[in-house]
Chains A and B, each alone.
Chain A
Amino acid sequence: MSHSNYQPKNSVLAWIERRLPIFGFMHGSFVAYPVPRNLNYWWTFGGILSFMLGVQIITGVVLVMHYTPTSLEAFNSVEKIMRDVNYGWLLRYIHANGASMFFLAVYIHIFRGLYYGSYKEPREVLWILGVIIFILMMATAFMGYVLPWGQMSFWAATVITNLFSAIPVFGKSITQFLWGGYSVDEPTLQRFFALHYLLPFMIAGVVVLHIWALHHVGQGNPAGIDVKSDRDTVPFTPYATVKDNFALICFMILFAWFVFYIPNYLGHPDNYIPANPLQTPPHIVPEWYFLPFYAILRAIPNKLLGVVALFSSIIVLAFLPWLDTSKVRSARFRPLYKQFFWVLVVTCVGLGYLGSQPAEGIYVIVARILTAYYFLHFLVILPVLGYFETPKPLPKSISEPVLGKSGVAVGIGARAPRKN
Chain B
Amino acid sequence: MRKTALLIAAAALLGSVSAQAAEQAIHIDRQPWSFAGPFGTYDRAQLQRGYRVYKEVCSTCHSMKLVAFRNLAQPGGPGFTEAQAKTVAAEYKINDGPNDKGEMFERAGRVTDYFPSPDPNEQAARARFNGSLPPDLSVIAKARGVESGVLRGILNMFTQYQEGGPDYIYAYLTGYGKPPAGEELTPTQHWNSVFPGHKTQMPPPLTDGQVEYTDGTPATVSQYARDVSAFLMWAAEPHLEARKRIGFQVMIFLIVLAGLAYYTKKKVWADLH
Contacts and interface: CB of A to CB of B under 8 A. Distances in A.
B258 A253 contact: yes
Given A79-B138, A409-B273, A261 B247 contact: yes
A419 B272 CA distance: 7
Chain B contact residues: helix, strand, loop or mixed: helix
Contacts of A238: 268
A208 to B, nearest CB: 27
A89 B243 CA distance: 8
Contacts of A361: 20
Interface stretch (B92-100, B141-149, B172-180): B141-149
Contacts of A409: 273
A252 B139 CA distance: 28
B254 A249 contact: yes
Interface stretch (B52-60, B155-163, B202-210, B214-222): B155-163
B251 A256 contact: yes
Nearest to B150: A353
A308 interface: no
A174 to B, nearest CB: 33
Interface in A344-359: 346, 353-354, 357
Given A269-B143, A366-B17, A418 B254 contact: no
Interface in B224-273: 236, 238-239, 242-244, 246-248, 250-251, 254-255, 257-258, 261-262, 264-266, 268-270, 272-273
A252 to B, nearest CB: 6
B258 A246 contact: yes
Interface in B104-140: 135, 138-140
Contacts of A363: 17, 20
B165 interface: yes
A264 interface: yes
Interface string B1-36: 000001000100100110111000000000000000
B267 to A, nearest CB: 8
Nearest to B253: A256
Contacts of B160: 261-262
Contacts of B244: 260-261
B257 to A, nearest CB: 5
A153 to B, nearest CB: 13
B262 A239 contact: no
B269 A420 contact: yes
A298 to B, nearest CB: 15
Interface string A241-260: 01101100110110011011
A83 to B, nearest CB: 6
A273 to B, nearest CB: 5
A239 to B, nearest CB: 6
Given A272-B236, A353-B150, A362-B16, A260 B261 contact: no
Nearest to B70: A84
A406 B208 CA distance: 86
Contacts of A269: 142-145, 164-165
Contacts of A239: 268-269, 272
Given A243-B265, A273-B143, A362-B20, A260 B247 contact: yes
Nearest to A237: B268
B196 interface: yes
A186 interface: no
Q: How large is the interface on B (under 10, 10 to 19, 20 to 34, 35 or more residues)?
A: 35 or more
Nearest to B143: A272
Contacts of B139: 79, 272
Interface string A34-56: 00010000000000000000000
Contacts of B66: 76, 79, 83
A163 interface: no
A264 B142 contact: yes
A265 interface: yes
A419 B157 contact: no
B262 to A, nearest CB: 5
A265 B154 CA distance: 10
A395 interface: no
A234 interface: yes
B157 A262 contact: yes
A265 B20 contact: no
B246 A242 contact: no
A417 interface: yes
B38 interface: yes
A119 B24 CA distance: 43
Contact of B264 (A242, A263, A282, A343): A242
Nearest to B165: A269
Contacts of A305: none
9 contacts: A79-B139, A242-B264, A256-B251, A265-B162, A269-B142, A353-B17, A357-B21, A366-B17, A419-B269
Interface of A: 37, 76, 79, 82-83, 89-90, 93, 234, 238-239, 242-243, 245-246, 249-250, 252-253, 256-257, 259-265, 269-270, 272-273, 282, 343, 346, 353-354, 357, 361-363, 366, 369, 403, 409, 417-420
Identify the 5 closest CB pairs spanning chains A and B, nearest first: A260-B247, A272-B143, A269-B145, A246-B261, A242-B265
Given A246-B261, A257-B251, A272-B236, 5 more contacts: A245-B261, A245-B264, A256-B251, A261-B160, A420-B265
Interface of B: 6, 10, 13, 16-17, 19-21, 38, 66, 71, 135, 138-140, 142-145, 150, 156-157, 160-162, 164-165, 196, 236, 238-239, 242-244, 246-248, 250-251, 254-255, 257-258, 261-262, 264-266, 268-270, 272-273
